[in-house]
Amino acid sequence: MQASPVLVSSDDLYLFNTGQLFRAYRTFGAHPIVFEGSFGVRFVLWAPRAQEVAVIGDFNDWNVTDRSVKLAQIGTTGVWVGFGPGLSEGVHYKYEIVNANGKRQLKSDPFGFQSELRPNTASVVTNLDCYEWQDSEWLDDRSNHPPYEKPMLIYEVHLGSWRMDEPEQFRDYEQLSQELVDYVCSMGYTHIEILPLTEHPLDRSWGYQATGYYAATSRYGPPVGLKKLVDRCHSRGIGVLLDWVCGHFCKDDHGLRLFDGTPLYESSDFRRAEKPLWGTLAFDFSKPQVQSFLLSNALFWMDVYHIDGLRVDAVASMIDLNFDKPESMRALNRFGGTEDVDALQFLRKLNETVFLYYPESLMMAEDSSSYPAVTSPTYLGGLGFNYKWNMGWMNDMLRYMEIDPAERSSHHSLITFSLHYAFSENYVLPLSHDEVVHGKRSMLNKMPGSYQEKFSNLRLFYGYWMTHPGKKLLFMGGEFGQFDEWKDYTGLDWALLQYPLHDSMSRYVGELNKLYLENEALWELDHKQSGFEWIDVNNSAQCMLSFQRNGKSSEYSIVTVCNFSRDTHPIYRIGVSQPGVYRLLLNSDESDYGGSGFELSSTAHTNNVPLHGKPYSIELSVPALSIQIWKFDTA
């Protein structure tokens, strides 16, 4: 069956080959259409060095026969097109390619909208336009209220292991749209962030090594189920973020590697193509067709699945040519430096494109590098993200919290250094999945001391995290003190909630989340220096910290007092800005949260005693390993 070029417009071909076809998924892949009076499926593929291309599948017993769909290349565009009359949604298919070396190979569709359940790897013809969304109110509100001056509590989740009754017995998207969404709402989170949902062959890659960039993984059911999950999140006021991996892809034969027998999606220079740390291949960002593929994919998740934003994975590895590479693979860019200039240009173009169509979206960089201006606009030389994960804060704080309290006084700078740069970017403070796997231990088990002290330290740490400038992200299980590190092949240890300290931790996190949401001072000026001021930053000897968070109105300021030592201070004085009465909002040492129950007054009256550069002061009692959060009482 020879293809007719009119199946694809010349404008689309031009834009694709110049890196400007931002909805390439509408052209490429498998689409049910009516062509010349016949209903069937149009197939469009980029494979410039292929000698022959045909579509085979369950409709012809997976053999190249007269019933195959033969594709024809359109001129010198590198694009192949064909039409299969009589084919329809649900057909399983692959491309059989006679590659540049004359070898026959079977490939899944790079633009396939659905894949078979692993270990099978065929693509499935799927119509994604048949769902009636009910989230118009959410989308309107999202457009009118930018995120910067709003609270953001992100619950990071791996759908497969959030709840699992038996190994590989995953909850499907529709089940999760009830159970997960109800749980997230009950805990007070504003967003969920889902580990990658692009189709991937190996469960234990967690989706970070993908083959099907346009296919929501079939592990959890058909695409319509994911739409229902997102729709229900929106109906309950929950935003949905997706981990997105545009830096590299896996080498499985049916995927993108050597797609037409030559390096197509990857660079022909092995030093640039290989990612030895992960055993994957980097995308070649210099190719305009690869740009069209990836830029379209970013918009695809927002267009088709109403995703509210993307967390872009491994930015540091993208922008450094020599990231974790041996000396033999070191390379320089065309200017003699080690930055990947093409990757930097791609990231800028990515953010410009996304914000052109979705100005209210969230674009977050998971970036461990010190590259500047990640969240500055591209017209000012920045990368154009609107948020960056604060990996420095996370590393410093976890290092500090793992130190025995008796030794913390000499490491005081670890908990204060972040305020030197806290407003240089728009930050998210991540306590993510990466910190609770591969022998790093769970958040609870990182904490030093006795069993009881581990919980005290974790409550203290979470309180400091919640009152520190920056949006918040917590990986699932951290909210109830999962004791073992994350086991991706089983469900979370929900049975721990029958034990008092774990149940108390869950209630504490819920109360902490609620307190955060209800107090503008904890998020309204997150990205401005005026939103934070130290009260006493220098008390390293007693491992004490106190500071004030400010909102737009000084009436709503919050005062936080942290004791990172084992010593209780029955009398402890700090300076405050306003005269009157301060009301205790939260004490992590309350017996209801699993604390000692050391009796505290719920109010503190100011004295005309200047302290810490403030005109007034209040006298408090501060239990060991605890945090207190106070608010000026305007009543």
pLDDT tens digit sequence for 217-244? 999 999 999 999 999 999 999 999 999 9
What's the CATH number where 63 sits? 2.60.40.10
- Label residue 247 left, alpha or beta by phi (over 0 means left) and psi (-120 to 50 means alpha): alpha
Residue 6: its pLDDT value, please? Answer: 66
pLDDT score of 137 more than 60: yes
Percent of the chain residues past pLDDT 70, beyond the cut: 99
Q: What is the mean pLDDT of residues 155-167?
A: 94
The residue with tokens 């997150």 is 526
Last residue of one domain, picked from the residues 124, 159, 193: 124
Domain count along the chain = 2
pTM: 0.96
78 lies in some domain: yes
Q: Where are the beta strands (DSSP E) in 99-185?
A: 104-107, 123-124, 153-157
Longest CA pairwise span in the chain (Å): 94
The residues with which 628 forms a beta bridge, in sequence order, are 561, 587
Provide the residue range defining the domain that includes 45: 5-124
Tens-digit pLDDT profile for residues 243-277: 999 999 999 999 999 999 999 999 999 999 999 99
> pLDDT per residue over 385-411, tens digit each?
999 999 999 999 999 999 999 999 999
- What is the pLDDT, as a whole number, of residue 556? 80
pLDDT of residue 52: 96
Considering the domain boundaries, does residue 455 fall inside one?
no
Helix (H), strand (E), coil (C) string for 362-430: EEEECCCCCCCCCCCCHHHCCCCCCEEECHHHHHHHHHHHCCCHHHHHHHCHHHHHHHHCCCCCCEEEE
Active site residues: 313, 366
261 neighbors 49 (Cβ within 8 angstroms): yes
Does the pLDDT value for residue 117 go beyond 70?
A: yes
CA distance 617 to 607: 5
Stretch (H or E) spanning 319: helix 315-319
pLDDT for residue 67? 74
Q: Is residue 598 in a domain?
A: yes
In a domain, 233, yes or no: no
Residues 6+ apart with CB under 8 A from 31: 41, 42, 44
Q: Is residue 568 one of the residues assigned to a domain? A: yes
Question: What's the pLDDT band for 1 if we cut at 50, 70, 90?
Answer: very low
Looking at the domain assignment, is residue 533 inside a domain?
A: yes
Q: What is the pLDDT of residues 162-212, one digit of tens each?
A: 999 888 889 999 999 999 999 999 999 999 999 999 999 999 999 999 999
70: confidence class by pLDDT, cuts 50, 70, 90: very high
d(C-alpha 282, C-alpha 285), whole Å: 9
CATH number of the domain residue 566 falls in = 2.60.40.1180
Q: What is the pLDDT, as a whole number, of residue 92?
A: 97
Q: Is residue 119 part of a domain?
A: yes
How much is the pLDDT for 3? Answer: 46
Residue 512 lies in a domain: no
**pLDDT band at 2, cuts 50/70/90?**
very low
Mean pLDDT (the chain) is 96
Cα–Cα distance measured from residue 421 to residue 392, given in angstroms and rounded to the nearest whole number: 10
**pLDDT value of position 506:** 98
Residues 395/349/205/437 CA torsion (nearest 10 deg): 10
Using the 3D structure, point to which of 89, 124, 159 is the last residue of a domain.
124
- Residue 146 is predicted with a pLDDT of 85
Alpha carbon distance 112, 55 (integer Å)? 13
Domain boundary among 88, 106, 124: 124
